[in-house]
């Protein structure tokens, strides 16, 4: 494989240039920003390495996916790379040290929105393909490359697309986005993702904002929302929605052991996020179990009234909160939505409107699949350390649609590192992260062509 | 007085033009917007009716006041008009049907920020002065005209200015801003205003926004703020800050009777604000007593995390709330601030920062002052109905500085009506409101010149 690795290293400037081009093109799915040009640019990049590519419309006028495929020497073995080309919003923009859509290098890091999640992964895999094409004259197996356009918005139309065209994307095995190294630089692989229910809770109590001197007698939307939210979570961080935890399934023995075997991330998380104490003062294994295995009720945004400089003596007519509930197997977003509605009604808050924004079903690939072993071996070879395997990550993605919907084993490799500030200001990646991710992608292609996933 | 009233009516187009000029000039004190030109424009308008005018610097580099004075026939009698030329922010700007700084007429109303509060009052009084000058060749008594530049920001530097130069503004009696007609078109006069403590409560728990998948273990600023706020007010609307109500003084018998005698505003408030039920389901006299005589703990703004379109899976690093506490005699803003700090500490929220933005002391002029009788008579003469006299209004203003600090009786007349949407989108006034306010100002000047305030 040295020839392939050497090609990737020799062409690093070209790869970073391509990555900068892709990051420079905004593609914020939450705001539908940049999608006049972004799918075309992804298609152009896919075609530059020989992928036969189409921009795939998704149901409900959603933001398109981009799908490419290319035959290789072993035509009976097909590998699917799942990625997404959409990115998170840049807000709070004032905390960025450089324009999120004008990538730049500072020290050994390059910065920009999506430069790690997930445009970095796209280009690392493209770099691996390019190396096979140019050094070996082609791929050793069939390859499919799926880049979604709505992952950061909860993949609302992916289940519909899979129902329509799932077989087009079917493969023997799948590499997901989002592997890489953890806080202690050990490679990690994960086999599952949490689900998600994202909602906006809102209430309007007046026909318009009123002068705050009337706050003695006119109802307050802000206090009302706050009182409703307060019923959702207890001081012990336990979600108080009736039946919220009912459908959680226990881990298998090997999954449980894998969680126990993971390294302690406590100090690293402390350092990166500048905190002294964690929720419920968890540390070590307890922190890990809470992080990976419990659902959340997070407030992602709170809005009411005047938020500018100085003050405005206003009684706001309306208030709203954006919440995301991360779900673990086998919780279901629509079921949690129904339970949330019942909970608010039961507590007298039937006037709080719930608007569901996104729902994603949680998923885990079985830990003993041969595909997991193959990917783990490539990680050890590239990074020189046995990988940590996590049954499911704290994050979310539409794995369920591919793993359960189409039916294939899924594991991860990638360019990730907890210091990348994904979804946050100053998202970044190092050249090293990129090179290691590209090399592992190449090795996975090679090993899969040799051994298959069975 | 018919000659004076006729002059005001004959020149109404000119007065509205002047009012439009003044409203077109932004003067948002909370944002320090427009103060390069606003004081100069006020000075120019003052000088146009013969007031010897100066732009008065205030302590702490605050936004200046504008002060004018002019001698009249009775040089031993001096009347002070208090107004303010600053306005509230225009937010939420999207609910305005026209540009707040491009006043326009729609039907029988004219619209713009400050067109009622308080630029309408300024120009109505200027119209009255102009009529005396042009019809009678001068004023019947001395007149002082004080236009503050920071009233909408809680008059933070007015106490300092009064301490330095209070005697320059002293008079035998004062007409405040903000009289006019109430919801049933009956003239009203008020003799006092609530005080105010305005604070921002804020908390930051992470070095930066984090991915919301970490919400299982990283502390949430939004939940923390919400839990702290929840301790401040009970479900029965009672403020739970220890000792909050201790310094409230009872009304005198005549003040109490005045409250009882006021008309029922329940239906009008329902209609204007589009509500079915009031706080604690108060109605009629109970509503009135709650409105005028109780303090508040209002949330004027709530901010945390992502508030744009769609969603962002973020765990926000920070959260904040703007609160205003309206205070009744003899509560004091600094004392309430101290009690709030102790309250939060006692409930384990010493990590919540409190930033005091403004404090105003509440004030009431004694109900039996001869000045109150004189102003009431002018109201009855102009509006044809006995005025309702309110011991103190639900709103706030720096009356304490003039009434207690300099020492003079204070009552109100003006152009107000509850339908004016002051402090809210689509602030407006009718031509009728303006004419009545201007005529009453003229009659007050005349009667005061004849009888004085003793």
Longest dimension (CA), chain A: 78
Same domain, A188 and A202: no
Please judge whether B300 and A305 are an interchain contact, meaning their C-beta atoms are less than 8 angstroms apart: yes
Confirm whether B272 is domain-assigned: no
List of chain A residues whose C-beta atoms are within 8 Å of the C-beta of residue B314? 88, 300-301, 423-424
Confirm whether B59 is domain-assigned: yes
Q: Is the pLDDT of residue B311 over 90?
A: no
Confirm whether B34 is domain-assigned: yes
pLDDT at position A407? 87
Confirm whether A399 is domain-assigned: yes
Same domain, A142 and A16: yes
Same domain, A25 and A167: yes
How confident is the model over B150-174, as pLDDT tens digits?
999 888 889 889 888 989 999 999 9
Q: A114, A23 in Cβ contact below 8 A?
A: yes
Same domain, A433 and A306: no
Confirm whether B256 is domain-assigned: no
Please judge whether A312 and B301 are an interchain contact, meaning their C-beta atoms are less than 8 angstroms apart: yes
Please judge whether A299 and B316 are an interchain contact, meaning their C-beta atoms are less than 8 angstroms apart: yes
Q: Measure the CA–CA gap between B297 and A438, rounded to whole angstroms.
A: 57
Q: In chain A, positions 53-92, which contact chain B (CB-CB < 8 Å)?
A: 88-89, 91-92
pLDDT at position B309? 82
Q: Is the pLDDT of residue B434 over 90?
A: yes
Q: How confident is the model at residue B239 (pLDDT cuts 50, 70, 90)?
A: very high
Q: In chain A, positions 272-301, which contact chain B (CB-CB < 8 Å)?
A: 272-275, 277-279, 282, 287, 290-291, 294, 296, 298-301
Residue showing tokens 């090795």: A443
Same domain, A98 and A146: yes
pLDDT at position B182? 84
Residue A76's nearest CA partner among A454, A370, A378 is A454
Range(s) of the domain holding residue A212: 195-248+295-360
pLDDT at position A115? 98
Same domain, B175 and B204: no
User: pTM of the prediction?
Assistant: 0.80
What total of structural domains would you count in chain B? 2
Q: How confident is the model at residue B55 (pLDDT cuts 50, 70, 90)?
A: very high
Please judge whether A275 and B299 are an interchain contact, meaning their C-beta atoms are less than 8 angstroms apart: no
CATH of the domain at B142: 3.40.630.10
Confirm whether A272 is domain-assigned: no
pLDDT at position A127? 98
> ipTM exceeding 0.95?
no
CATH of the domain at B317: 3.30.70.360
pLDDT at position A11? 98
List of chain A residues whose C-beta atoms are within 8 Å of the C-beta of residue B153? 310-311
Same domain, A20 and A54: yes
Please judge whether A205 and B310 are an interchain contact, meaning their C-beta atoms are less than 8 angstroms apart: no
How confident is the model over B112-143, as pLDDT tens digits?
999 999 999 999 999 999 999 999 999 999 99
Same domain, B303 and B403: no
Same domain, B338 and B422: no
Give, for all 454 residues of chain A, the pLDDT tens digit.
999 999 999 999 999 999 999 999 999 999 999 999 999 999 999 999 999 999 999 998 999 999 999 999 999 999 999 999 999 999 889 999 999 999 999 998 999 999 999 999 999 999 999 999 999 999 999 999 999 999 998 888 898 898 889 899 999 999 999 889 987 889 999 999 999 999 999 999 999 999 899 999 999 999 999 999 999 999 999 999 999 999 999 999 989 999 999 889 899 899 989 998 999 999 999 999 999 999 999 999 999 999 888 778 899 999 999 999 999 999 999 999 999 999 999 999 999 999 998 888 999 998 988 999 999 999 999 999 999 999 988 988 889 989 988 889 999 999 999 899 998 899 999 999 999 999 999 999 999 999 999 8
Q: Is the pLDDT of residue B418 over 90?
A: no
List of chain B residues whose C-beta atoms are within 8 Å of the C-beta of residue A358? 311
Confirm whether A228 is domain-assigned: yes
Q: In chain A, positions 99-138, which contact chain B (CB-CB < 8 Å)?
A: none
pLDDT at position A153? 86
Same domain, B353 and B379: no
pLDDT at position A15? 98
Out of A325, A360, A395, pick the residue that ends a domain.
A360
Out of B343, B360, B377, pick the residue that ends a domain.
B360
Confirm whether B276 is domain-assigned: no
| Residue B125, min C-alpha distance to chain A (Å) | 24
SS (H, E, C) chain B: CHHHHHHHHHCHHHHHHHHHHHHHCCCEHHHCECCCCHHHHHHHHHHHCCCEEEEECCHHHCCCEEEEEECCCEEEEEEEEEEECCECCCCCHHHCCCCCCCCEEECCEEECCCCCCCHHHHHHHHHHHHHHHHHHCCCCEEEEEEEECCHHHCCCCHHHHHHHHHHHHCCCEEEECCCEECCCCCEEEECEEEEEEEEEEEEECCCCCEEHHHHHCCCCHHHHHHHHHHCCECCCCCECCCCCCCCCCCCCHHHHHHHHHCCCCHHHHHHHHCCCCCHHHCCHHHHHHHHHHCCCCEEEEEEEECCCCCCCCEECCEEEEEEEEEECCCCCHHHHHHHHHHHHHHCCCCCCEEEEEEEECCEECCCCCHHHHHHHHHHHHHHCCCCEEECCCCCECCHHHHHHHHHCCEEECCCECHHHCCCCCCCEEEHHHHHHHHHHHHHHHHHHHHHCCC
Which among B205, B287, B313 has the least Cβ separation from residue A324? B313
Out of A312, A343, A360, pick the residue that ends a domain.
A360
Same domain, A219 and A337: yes
Task: Tell whether A356 lies on the interface with B, counting CB pairs under 8 A.
Answer: no
Same domain, A313 and A235: yes
Rounded percentage of chain B residues whose pLDDT exceeds 70: 100
């Amino acid at each position: 494989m040295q020839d392939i690795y050497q090609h990737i290293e020799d062409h690093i400037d070209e790869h970073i240039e391509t990555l900068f081009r892709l990051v420079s093109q905004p593609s914020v799915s939450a705001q539908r920003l940049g999608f006049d040009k972004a799918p075309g640019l992804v298609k152009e990049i896919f075609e530059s390495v020989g992928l036969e590519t189409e921009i795939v419309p998704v149901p409900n006028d959603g933001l398109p996916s981009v799908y490419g495929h290319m035959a290789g020497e072993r035509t009976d073995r097909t590998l699917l790379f799942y990625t997404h080309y959409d990115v998170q919003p840049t807000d709070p923009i004032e905390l960025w040290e450089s324009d999120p859509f004008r990538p730049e290098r500072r020290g050994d890091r390059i910065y920009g929105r999506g430069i790690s999640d997930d445009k970095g992964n796209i280009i690392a895999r493209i770099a691996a393909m390019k190396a096979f094409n140019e050094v070996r004259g082609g791929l050793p197996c069939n390859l499919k490359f799926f880049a979604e356009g709505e992952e950061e918005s909860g993949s609302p139309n992916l289940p519909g697309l899979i129902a329509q065209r799932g077989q087009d994307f079917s493969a023997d095995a799948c590499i997901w986005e989002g592997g890489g190294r953890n806080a202690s630089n050990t490679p990690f692989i994960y086999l599952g993702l949490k689900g998600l229910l994202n909602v906006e809770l809102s209430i309007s109590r007046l026909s318009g904002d009123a002068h705050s001197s009337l706050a003695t007698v006119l109802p307050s939307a802000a206090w009302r929302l706050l009182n409703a939210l307060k019923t959702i979570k207890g001081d012990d961080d336990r979600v108080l929605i009736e039946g919220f935890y009912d459908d959680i399934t226990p881990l298998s023995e090997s999954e449980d052991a894998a969680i126990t075997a993971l390294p302690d991330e406590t100090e690293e998380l402390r350092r990166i996020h500048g905190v002294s104490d964690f929720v419920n003062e968890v540390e070590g294994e307890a922190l890990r179990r809470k992080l990976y295995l419990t659902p959340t009720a997070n407030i992602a945004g709170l809005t009411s009234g005047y938020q500018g400089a100085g003050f405005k003596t206003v009684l706001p007519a309306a208030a709203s909160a954006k919440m995301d509930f991360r779900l673990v197997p086998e919780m279901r977003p629509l079921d949690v939505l129904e339970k949330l509605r019942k909970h608010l009604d039961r507590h007298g808050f039937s006037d709080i409107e719930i608007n569901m924004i996104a729902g994603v079903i949680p998923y885990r690939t079985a830990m003993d699949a041969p595909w997991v072993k193959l990917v783990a071996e490539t990680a050890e070879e590239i990074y020189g350390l046995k990988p940590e395997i996590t049954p499911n990550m704290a994050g979310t993605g539409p794995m369920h649609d591919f793993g359960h919907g189409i039916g294939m084993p899924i594991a991860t490799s990638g360019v990730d590192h907890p210091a990348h500030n994904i979804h946050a200001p100053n998202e970044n990646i190092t050249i090293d992260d990129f090179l290691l991710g590209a090399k592992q992608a190449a090795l996975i292609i090679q090993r899969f062509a040799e051994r298959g996933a069975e």
